[in-house]
Structure 1
Amino acid sequence: MVFGGARGIGAAAVKRLAEDGYDVSFTYVSRPDKAQELVEHIATAGGRAYAIKADSAKIDEIRSAVADAVAQFGQLKAVVVNAGIYRGAAIEDVTLHDLDEMLNINIRAVFLSIQASIPHLQDGGRVVTIGSNVANHTGHPGSSVYQLTKTAVAGLVKGVALDLAPRQITVNNIQPGPVETDLTADMIEHLIPRSPLKRVGKPQEIGALISYLVSEEAGYMTGASLTIDGGYTL
C-alpha cells in the first residue's frame, strides 16, 4: 500500500511495486484523473492497482483507506508512506495554518498511517517512509518547518523499527534530494548547478530504492535513513 501514490515519487513507487508483482493500493487526495490514469497504466501492463481517495490529514480517512485496501487485496505486505507537503517561508513569515498543516501531514499523518497499517501488515513485512535529505542538510532559507518535519520522520523510524522488530517487520526511511516532478518543475534549472552530478533525481530512481527496501534481500536493514540526492549533502 502506498499513501500518496498518484503522482511523482508515489506514482513511481506504485509502478515499480506493480512491476515487482505486487497488487498495489494507493491513496490520493486530489487529481482523480491522475489516479485513474495510473490504475489503467498498470492494468495495461498486466498488473493490478486500486486507487483510494483519502486525506492523510484525517485519521478516519486513513483508517478507512487501509480497510479498503485490505478488502481489495488482502493482508498488507508492504507500506510506503509518501504523503507530504512543503510550505516555504522565513521563520518570521510562517503562518500558524502552514505550520499546523506541515506538522499534520508530514509527521502526524506518517505516524497514523503506519499505526493504522500495522494490524494488517504480515509478519516479515516492510514499512518505508519518504523523508528528505534536508534532515541532514539545510537546503535553503525558508525550509525550517519542512526540515523539522523530515528530521522527525528520520527519528520516528528508529523507534518504530524497535517496536516492530519482534515481528520481523523492517522500517526504513528514504531521504531524497531534489527529484524531477511536477512540484519541482519551476525550480529544476536553479537546482541542477548545486548538484555534484549536475542533475536532479528521477522518480524511478526512488522507486528502485523502495523496491529494494521491500524485498527479501533487505531483511537485515531496519531503522535506517538512506539519502539519495546526487551528492547534495556531501
Structure 2
Amino acid sequence: MGERGQLAGAVALVTGGSRGIGAAIARHLGRAGADVAITYNTAADLASDVVAELTALGVRSVAVRAPATERGAVDAAVRTAAAELGGLDVLVNNAGIARYGPVADTGDEDVDDIIDVNIRAVFTGTRAALGVMRDGGRVITIGSNLADRVSSPGLALYTMSKSALVGFTRGLARDLGPRRITANLVQPGSTDTDMNPADGPGAAAQLGTSALGHYGTADDVAATVAHLAGPGGAHITGTVLTVDGGQNT
C-alpha cells in the first residue's frame, strides 16, 4: 500500500466491506488516513469489527446495511455515508455475488440476482456517488479475471456480469475526465477468502492455471486499490488491472 497518511482528509466508501477483499480494502484505505464507510448485507458483527479496527487507527468509520439485491439500497448507503463523513472522494464497488452452472439449468431468479448485484447496484451506486463526490475523486470497481478468460464450464452468467464492468469502466472514464475523477477496474483471480478458500475443493484446478503457483491474498488486491485511490493513481483511468498471479497469461 502507499505511504501512511497519503489519503488523510479523504472519505471512502467500500461496498461489501465487512469481510474478504472488501474488508482488506477498507483497512488499507484507513491505514492511509482515509475516513471509511462500508456496506454490508447480513454480517453486522463482522462489519462492526471492521469499523472498530478503523476507529482504532484514528480515522472515522461507519457501517451501513445495504443489501445489493434491494433496488435503491446502495444508493441510499452512498448518501448516508457522505452525510455522516462529509462528502466522498473514493468509491470502491466491491460487493458481488456468484452463481455457477450451465445456462440451460439457470433459473430466472439467479439471473435477476446476478444482474441486480453485479451490474445494477454498481451502476446506480456509482451514479449516486457522483452526486456527492468531489472533483479529482476515484471510482474503483472490483471485477474478475474470468471476464477475460473463461477457464471452465458453468461460468457464463457470472462472466457476463463481470464483463459488463469493463465497458462500464471505460465509458465512465470518458464521462468523468473533465472532473478529474478516474475510473478503473481491478480484476482479481483466485484469492484466498471464505468464498474461495485456498484449501477448498476447487483449489487444485485453479492453481494449475497460475503462473506463480499459489492463491492471491485479499491484501494483494487491496494494495492495488489503495494505489489507484492515492496520488499514484491520478493519471490512471479507463484501465483494467488484473491481479491474478498470471492465471490469464
- Cα distance in 2 between the residues matched to 1:59 and 1:150: 19
**1:84 corresponding residue in structure 2:** 96
More helix by share: 1
Give 3-state SS (helix, strand or coil) of 1:51's partner.
strand
**8 A contact 1:4–1:28 mirrored in 2:** yes
Q: 1:193 deviation in Å? A: 3.0
| Residue of structure 2 aligned with 1:134, choices 129, 136, 146 | 146
Give 3-state SS (helix, strand or coil) of 2:21's partner.
helix
Q: 1:51 deviation in Å? A: 0.5
| Residue of structure 1 aligned with 2:225, choices 210, 214, 217 | 210
- Cα distance in 2 between the residues matched to 1:140 and 1:105: 23
| Residue of structure 2 aligned with 1:14, choices 23, 26, 36 | 26
Equivalent positions of 1:160-175 (< 5 A) are: 160-175=172-187
Paired AA for residue 155 in structure 2: S
Q: 1:95 deviation in Å? A: 1.0
User: Does residue 1:221 correspond to 2:233, yes or no?
Assistant: no
**1:231 corresponding residue in structure 2:** 246
> Relative to structure 2, which stretch is displaced further, 118-127 or 187-196?
187-196
User: What is the number of residues matched between the two proteins?
Assistant: 234
| Residue of structure 1 aligned with 2:48, choices 26, 36, 46 | 36
Give the TM-score normalised by the residue count of structure 2.
0.91
**2:67 corresponding residue in structure 1:** 55
- Cα distance in 2 between the residues matched to 1:167 and 1:130: 22
**8 A contact 1:129–1:174 mirrored in 2:** yes
Give the share of equivalent positions with the same residue, in percent. Answer: 37
User: Does residue 1:109 correspond to 2:121, yes or no?
Assistant: yes
Aligned-residue CA RMSD in angstroms?
Answer: 1.1
**1:25 corresponding residue in structure 2:** 37
Give 3-state SS (helix, strand or coil) of 1:129's partner.
strand
Equivalent positions of 1:117-156 (< 5 A) are: 117-156=129-168
Give 3-state SS (helix, strand or coil) of 1:201's partner.
coil
**1:200 corresponding residue in structure 2:** 215
**8 A contact 1:172–1:223 mirrored in 2:** yes
- Cα distance in 1 between the residues matched to 2:180 and 2:159: 30
Q: 1:191 deviation in Å? A: 2.3
Give the TM-score normalised by the residue count of structure 1.
0.97
Paired AA for residue 236 in structure 2: M
Paired AA for residue 57 in structure 2: A
**8 A contact 2:35–2:60 mirrored in 1:** yes
Give 3-state SS (helix, strand or coil) of 2:208's partner.
helix
